[in-house]
Amino acid sequence: MFNHFRKELDWGGRKLILETGKVARQADGSVMARYGDTIVLCTAVGVRSPKPGQDFFPLTVNYQEKTFAAGKIPGGFFKREGRPTEKEVLTSRLIDRPLRPLFPKGFRNEVQVVATVLSHDLENDPDMVAMVGCSAALTLSGIPFFGPIAGARVGYIDGAYVLNPTSDQMETSKLDLVLAGTTEGVLMVESEASELSEEIMLGAVTFGHAALLPVIQAIIELAEHAAREPWALVEKTDAEKALAARVDALGRAGLVEAYTEKLKQVRQDKVSAAKKAASAALTAEGLDADKAKGLFKELEADIVRNAILDTGLRIDGRDTKTVRPIAAEVGVLPRAHGSALFTRGETQALCVATLGTGQDEQIIDALDGEYREHFMLHYNFPPYSVGEAGRMGSPGRREIGHGKLAWRAIHPLLPAKDKFPYTLRIVSEITESNGSSSMATVCGTSLALMDAGVPLERPVAGIAMGLIKEDRGYAVLSDILGDEDFLGDMDFKVAGTERGITSLQMDIKITSITPDIMRVALDQARDGRIHILGEMAKALTSGREEVAPTAPRITIITVPKEKIRDVIGTGGKVIREIVEMTGAKIDIEDDGTIKIASSDPEKAQAAIDRIRGIVAEPEVGVIYNGKVVKTAEFGAFVNFLGAKDGLVHISELSQGRVNKTTDVVNQGDAVKVKVMGFDDRGKVKLSMRVVDQATGEDITEKVGAKAGGGREGGREGGGGREGGGRERGDRERHEPTAAE
């Protein structure tokens, strides 16, 4: 029934298994990839003919996680998987980026690749398993694909590289690097690092690429047994070649002239005008101008790329290493907790930092369990940033990907949560864009956080590198423009501090690059990063000493674990009362840590005093401020320490004889009391007569001296007179019951 094929190999100390022919047999290519007990079903389907007039390659990669893979039921009311999570979006992009360059130039057929996580062992991340499986599915499908590729994760633990580290190992790793490539070289890199050197990062890429080769060989061997017949590649016709020659003849002069213009908007207008003129001429000659759209892109690439290789000068007149002019400002928004406007050439990011409490943390329900994230970075790319009118809506894959890249760059430098217990949210609004807005976000985020008083260990900056590579040579470009990204061969983003790299992302649009080119790019990026850090330092060099006045102040106190119940109260009654009375935000953790947040210091202190009063134990001989909460014939009950009640016997209300409790105090009166001791039931015994109610001074000695000088004093001082004995007897007779 099944024409089943299987290939397995030992990979990083665990078995990798690739199977085909049993599941999803109607797809063009289908592979079940297994690593440990993590299983991903990967399929590839292609449409046999392109849509008429389509001038781009419609490749779609969908990575999806099913909660049953980890034995879970989805949360919420709907109880089924819905819109893609951030992890699913990022992994879809991760798989797409190395696959896309390996389809034939000019291929316009729609291709859909789907990776479905069926089982997750909570040890091996499905993302690299999915990448390998998708590559294998495409290789088996017969769809034109110049693969296969493979992907791997590299960690750096105790000075050694680790292939595909487990989830537990990643907790101690100074590097989280994923890469993909062919036998020829690397196509894609994505990483977060703890200020590692260029040499260590390059070594990780080299180590990872070597680990890919056995997997690629396994896919090739599987394809030898199970691959479908390859699709026929469509060659250019004579008519198409003639059309390309006419496009070159009619459009080259105008485009060459347009690309001498240094300002983006003016240049784009001239490029558009040159294309329109050439298209009109093609139409007049009876040629199909619509088919020439892609040919104009090829002509633009040829003009720009060769000009750089021939002259060493770029579109805007810079050489290959110069960074565009930079302007950095902080504190640009008066009510924000922290803000920065970072401008580099025609790229600009307005970054705004907001400080919150633990209640503002993002709760993420992932396959490997629920966790909380206290640092969020949201990147927005409105259409006006490139001078266009377009749809405004929820963030797309690009915005989520760019935001995560900037997040990875900043994350290693954030202070420990126990030292700076704030939830941090950054919003980066791209207000202008002409190349590397994600790296402008890194720079702006670093400045905005420091402006907010966040004690970053060191400022972080980012730079985007490009590549022009032809048979006759190559050029590595620092701080690329949008056109250089679009027409070039590489988008290589490097972020870090003066000490090392914190994030690296590389996408190659050709089949691969050599380690030598990557080394040149890393060295050139380091020089550019140091320059940008110097420009940023003109605005701010470190975090401000205090958070903004509009930001909440967080105070951390610790209480005994057994007292947490008292602070919360039955059904949360006590903590709700404190929040309502003070307006402070209060987070209580299981270990007894309590965080009190308020932008009003008095309100925060009031909440602290209430909590300390609840957990504090009365000390004999200490004077406290209190409030009369109830009066009785035998004395008054006084609340002190926020949540403690004690009895002031009628004999302890005043130095003179008291006939009636309400002659001295009434309910609601503020008084000062001294703890005299505890009765045999543990109840607190208080005294007002030994405390000066005006000053709070302890006058026990004065009262004692007076007691030695007369009958009244002897009685009050507890001497052996009959009156004193009678009052103690009254106290015993009138001691309140448990009900009272």
Q: What is the CATH number of the domain that holds 288?
A: 1.10.10.400
Domain assignment of residue 679, yes or no: yes
Total number of domains constituting the chain: 5
For residues 494 and 527, state if they share a domain.
Answer: yes
- Among 226, 248, 266, identify where a domain stops: 226
Residue pair 233/204 in contact by the 8 Å Cβ criterion: no
Question: Among 68-72, 377-381, 437-441, 617-621, where is mean pLDDT lowest?
Answer: 617-621
Model pLDDT, residue 705: 52
Which segment, 118-127, 557-566, 701-710, is predicted with the most confidence on average? 118-127
| Mean pLDDT, residues 570-594 | 90
For residues 156 and 295, state if they share a domain.
Answer: no
Instruction: Answer whether residue 556 shows pLDDT above 60.
Output: yes
| Mean pLDDT, residues 456-478 | 94
Model pLDDT, residue 662: 93
Domain assignment of residue 739, yes or no: no
All residues at 6 or more sequence positions from 398 whose CB lies less than 8 Å from its CB, including other chains: 381
First-last CA distance in the chain: 84
Model pLDDT, residue 642: 67
Name the residue with tokens 């790299």: 501
For residues 81 and 139, state if they share a domain.
Answer: yes
Q: Residue 154's domain is classified under what CATH number? A: 3.30.230.70
Domain assignment of residue 677, yes or no: yes
Sort 200 into a burial class: Cβ within 10 Å, 0-12 / 13-18 / 19+: middle
Between CA 254 and CA 278 the distance in angstroms is: 9
Instruction: Answer whether residue 732 shows pLDDT above 50.
Output: no
Strands 375-380 and 369-373: unpaired
For residues 364 and 427, state if they share a domain.
Answer: yes
For residues 253 and 193, state if they share a domain.
Answer: no
Which segment, 124-133, 255-264, 276-285, 618-627, is predicted with the most confidence on average? 124-133
Written as one letter, the residue type at 738 is A
Model pLDDT, residue 128: 97
Q: What is the mean pLDDT of the chain?
A: 90
Model pLDDT, residue 293: 80
**Residue of 452, 444, 451, 414 lying closest to 540 (CA atoms):** 451
For residues 338 and 276, state if they share a domain.
Answer: no
Q: Residue 684's domain is classified under what CATH number? A: 2.40.50.140
At 618, the pLDDT band (50, 70, 90 cuts) reads confident
Sort 299 into a burial class: Cβ within 10 Å, 0-12 / 13-18 / 19+: buried
| Mean pLDDT, residues 377-384 | 96
For residues 472 and 603, state if they share a domain.
Answer: no
Model pLDDT, residue 728: 34
Model pLDDT, residue 515: 86
Model pLDDT, residue 294: 79
Q: Tens digit of pLDDT for each residue in 299-317?
A: 988 999 999 999 999 998 9
Instruction: Answer whether residue 706 shows pLDDT above 80.
Output: no
Residue pair 84/66 in contact by the 8 Å Cβ criterion: no
Domain extent for 243:
239-311
Model pLDDT, residue 41: 98
Instruction: Answer whether residue 375 shows pLDDT above 50.
Output: yes
Model pLDDT, residue 326: 97
DSSP-assigned states of every residue in 271-328: HHHHHHHHHHHHHHTT--SGGGHHHHHHHHHHHHHHHHHHHS--TTS--SSPPPPEEE
- Among 226, 257, 280, identify where a domain stops: 226
At 704, the pLDDT band (50, 70, 90 cuts) reads low
User: DSSP strand E in 399-542: where?
Assistant: 423-432, 461-470, 473-478, 490-496, 501-508
Between CA 407 and CA 438 the distance in angstroms is: 10
Domain assignment of residue 180, yes or no: yes
Strands 369-373 and 362-366: antiparallel
For residues 565 and 590, state if they share a domain.
Answer: yes
For residues 473 and 430, state if they share a domain.
Answer: yes
**Residue of 182, 640, 551 lying closest to 352 (CA atoms):** 551
Model pLDDT, residue 718: 38
Classify 36 as helix, strand or coil: coil
Provide the β-strand partners of residue 691: 698
**Residue of 255, 240, 231, 238 lying closest to 294 (CA atoms):** 240
Q: Tens digit of pLDDT for each residue in 48-81?
A: 999 887 878 999 999 999 999 999 998 878 889 8
Domain assignment of residue 319, yes or no: no
For residues 256 and 335, state if they share a domain.
Answer: no
Instruction: Answer whether residue 572 shows pLDDT above 60.
Output: yes
- Among 505, 537, 569, identify where a domain stops: 537
Instruction: Answer whether residue 149 shows pLDDT above 70.
Output: yes
Pick the more confident residue, 615 or 374.
374
Domain assignment of residue 167, yes or no: yes
For residues 448 and 557, state if they share a domain.
Answer: no
Domain assignment of residue 544, yes or no: no
Pick the more confident residue, 117 or 726.
117
For residues 426 and 518, state if they share a domain.
Answer: yes
Q: Tens digit of pLDDT for each residue in 246-287?
A: 999 998 999 999 998 888 889 989 999 999 999 999 888 888
Domain assignment of residue 576, yes or no: yes
Say what angle helices 264-284 and 293-311 make with each other, to 10 degrees: 130
Q: Residue 573's domain is classified under what CATH number? A: 3.30.1370.10
